[in-house]
Structure 1
Amino acid sequence: MEPVEQQSHWRRSRRGHAPGYHEQARQLTEARREFEWLRAGAQMVQQQALRDFAQAMTNFFAGAHRRPTWRKLGRHDGFRIVSVKPRHVRQLNRNRGAVWVPKVGWVQFRVSRPVPAAVSYRVTRDAAGRWHIAFAAVPDTIPAPGSGEVVGVDRGVQTSAALSSGDLLHCSGLRPTETERLRRLQRRLARAQRGSHRRHKTKAAIARLRAREADRRKDWVEKTSTDLARRYDVIRVEDLNVGAMTRTARGTVADPGRNVVQKTALNRGILANGWGNLVARLEHKAPGRVEKVPAAYTSQTCSVCKTVDAEARESQAVFRCRSCGYTGHADVNAARNIAAGRAVTARGDLDTSRSVKREPQPNRLLSA
């Protein structure tokens, strides 16, 4: 029985506990002894899948993640190999490498960055059909420049990131011609018959465009986060719960949501600009130097005289203070309030009781 199925059948009324990793590993040994097709696969890969599931259940019970679900065809395909020795990885030339995969042999891959000395790696396949290999390693952090400069970053939909220095950064996405092609493919997919060859080809074409968009967004996030970590000692951002902000407003049949279309467009804009990824990569590259500031009234406060006025923002891009006459870009004005690092109350007073947050950062994987 599959681990997800075992967990779904277990209830609190049942005697005992749901089987854990060690019990599932014992069941795996018995199943491999009985079924030849299961013995054909590497036992290490199958055991690591059970370990990953056990860790996912631990994260679920801790309240950090959702309950693990069934894997879908063409999504999250991959496996993990541990106990990797230096002899299991070869550098063939400047652009090509090879890795030893149990029960498969030597498999070549394109080297996108120097391969680190790692004890494990993970091979994955994305929706576009591309295979990737990631070696588990702790990347080096970017040292602070020591200039003492502080920058505020305001994330938006029209402007991906506005800096308190006045720079406006835009995340790369699909070009207009690619966006139009994506729309045509989505309409073709809606007309295609389920299970047909045409539907399969259309889904693959859509996946390639989506992968191209995701690659450009990731490239922008990596370059932007590296540049900010090298230029500034302290980076301040709004303390936003991006996951909660991008939840669907569809509701249920009994309690349907309101403004669902508008909320859907906003969610897509937030995700397309990489709000969460930008801050996550900043925390990985500049640990201890990223501070989160409460976001209340940062876009309604004048960065010069600190007056809070909801009508001062005339448009998406123009901020005009009616008290001191300051005029500037609305996102840059908000970024300067964020750079100040202090929360603002509705009356315009500085709230010194709410300080910025600094959180410890986890280790990350270095992809090759």
Structure 2
Amino acid sequence: METYTRKRGHRARLALSPAQEDRLNRQAHAGRALWNLLHDLFSMCGRERRPSLAYLEGEIRWARKNVDWLGMLPAQAAQAVLKTYHQAWVRCWEGKGGAPGFKSRLRSALSVDVPQGRDLRVVRVHRRWGMVNIPKLGRIRFRWTKDLPGVSRRCPAGRITGARLTKDALGWHIAFRAEWAVKDPPPQAWSESHVGIDRGIIVPIALSDGTSYDHRPWLTATEQACLLQAERQATHRRRYRKTGKQTSKRLHSVYDRIEGLRARAKRRVLDWQHKTTTAIADRFTLVSVEQLAITNMLKSARGTLAAPGTNVSQKSGLNRRIAAEAWGRTVRLLDYKVTARGGALVRVPAPGTSLRCSVCNTITPGSRESQANFMCKNLACGWSGNADHNASRNIDRAGLELASAAGRAVVRQT
């Protein structure tokens, strides 16, 4: 049985004191300013005369010794900023991404990298809390929600290779980078457990076996009312903001409230997606999903001045609901979880899956009566049922055909 290295990340919430949070904010802003300094230097020199990495490393060491606010940034974090900036340019030159740009103080996410795992010294001190060492900050508590390799008794093998501290509207978090050696799981028989998945809005996830996974609204009625009120306040206060003038503290406070509510909704989305995809990966070996062009589905219906669109507001509401479900992330989570268990995920072409009858395998006009109901207009069939489950059965059948044609090849996610 083949052995390979699996790499995963785990994100946990940090419990910082006010002094530690202030110092970490200063470190993150120092890293952002270092990025901007590198960007200015590269922009002035041009591609042909850009300085070497060795020269830049020496300049960064000198600046950390002689500039107080740059000295707050740990040496390894400063080297990580240089490495990340250089890799961004390499990807740009290879045509894999755009050129790196200036990082604004207000629009850029704060982050500090700890590239060496040996400096973290992670230990578990309580059922709910662990301790981690952060350079220039000391020992910090973090919320323990998952066993870490090399630390937990249940996961003794493996090691933590590094971490990244990030800040969002809900506070500071730490994302551990871990790796460990695992044995390639034996391939499972697809005929034993296979399922097709139809993603929707009314029914978020419908399975071909008749079950479905639903969720509550990501925000409660009270939270939705608070979000609407904050958005109206922001719109009102933006009217009195003069062009070129600094944003007022009152407007910043409203922005913070909006970001906090949206971050809370996103956290609930991720929690539901992880639990749902884990349950599906534990039950089935072959999972088939539609290959949707989500970017094209989210295009606006506004049109142009010469040819204005119709039902623009309805299409905008539909786009918001599709984006809130995060269908692409659901497939990515399913992909690595099913593969890690010895199964496979198959992407099925989307055309015809919702219009075809899953019993007689024919497409007749008018069979899709509504968003929720399907009634086959073929006189020899006449089957009726839920439209989402009908589509999921078609996806399951097409996935089995594609998997049988492709053989037993499984793409391993590391």
| Structure 2 length-normalised TM | 0.74
Cross-structure match for 1:206? 258
Q: 1:8 to 1:339 in 2, by over 3 A?
A: farther
Q: 1:66 to 1:150 in 2, by over 3 A?
A: farther
Aligned length: 353
1:203-242 CA-to-partner distances (Å, cap 9, x unmatched) read 2221221112111110110011101100011000011233
Aligned partner (choices 61, 64, 70) of residue 38 of structure 1 = 70
Structure 2: which 5+ residue stretches go unaligned?
1-35, 150-158, 242-246
Give yes or no for the alignment of 1:293 onto 2:348.
yes
Q: CA RMSD in A?
A: 3.5
Contact 1:142 1:286 in 2 (8 A): no
Give yes or no for the alignment of 1:123 onto 2:165.
yes
Aligned partner (choices 77, 83, 87) of residue 110 of structure 2 = 77
Give yes or no for the alignment of 1:264 onto 2:328.
no
Q: What is the percentage of aligned positions where both structures have the same residue?
A: 34
Task: Identify which range, 258-267 or 330-339, moves more after superposition.
Answer: 258-267
Cross-structure match for 1:174? 219
* TM superposition shift of 1:305: 1.1
Q: Name the amino acid aligned to 1:2.
A: L
| Structure 1 length-normalised TM | 0.83
Cross-structure match for 1:186? 231
Contact 1:142 1:229 in 2 (8 A): no
Give yes or no for the alignment of 1:95 onto 2:128.
yes
In structure 2, C-alpha distance between the alignment counterparts of 1:96 and 1:138, rounded to whole Å: 22
Counterparts of 1:234-245 in structure 2 under 5 Å? 234-245=286-297
In structure 2, C-alpha distance between the alignment counterparts of 1:39 and 1:247, rounded to whole Å: 46
In structure 2, C-alpha distance between the alignment counterparts of 1:267 and 1:27, rounded to whole Å: 48
Cross-structure match for 1:278? 330
Contact 1:76 1:125 in 2 (8 A): yes
Cross-structure match for 1:333? 390
Aligned partner (choices 282, 294, 298) of residue 246 of structure 1 = 298
Structure with more helix by fraction = 2
In structure 1, C-alpha distance between the alignment counterparts of 2:319 and 2:185, rounded to whole Å: 31
Task: Identify which range, 103-112 or 18-27, moves more after superposition.
Answer: 18-27
Contact 2:344 2:410 in 1 (8 A): no
- SS of 2:371 mapped into structure 1: coil
Task: Identify which range, 46-55 or 57-66, moves more after superposition.
Answer: 57-66
- SS of 2:132 mapped into structure 1: strand
Q: 1:18 to 1:276 in 2, by over 3 A?
A: farther
Cross-structure match for 2:18? none
* TM superposition shift of 1:28: 2.2
Task: Identify which range, 172-181 or 221-230, moves more after superposition.
Answer: 172-181
* TM superposition shift of 1:191: 1.2
In structure 1, C-alpha distance between the alignment counterparts of 2:408 and 2:220, rounded to whole Å: 37
Structure 1: which 5+ residue stretches go unaligned?
344-349, 364-368
Contact 2:196 2:399 in 1 (8 A): no
Task: Identify which range, 153-162 or 36-45, moves more after superposition.
Answer: 36-45
- SS of 2:85 mapped into structure 1: helix
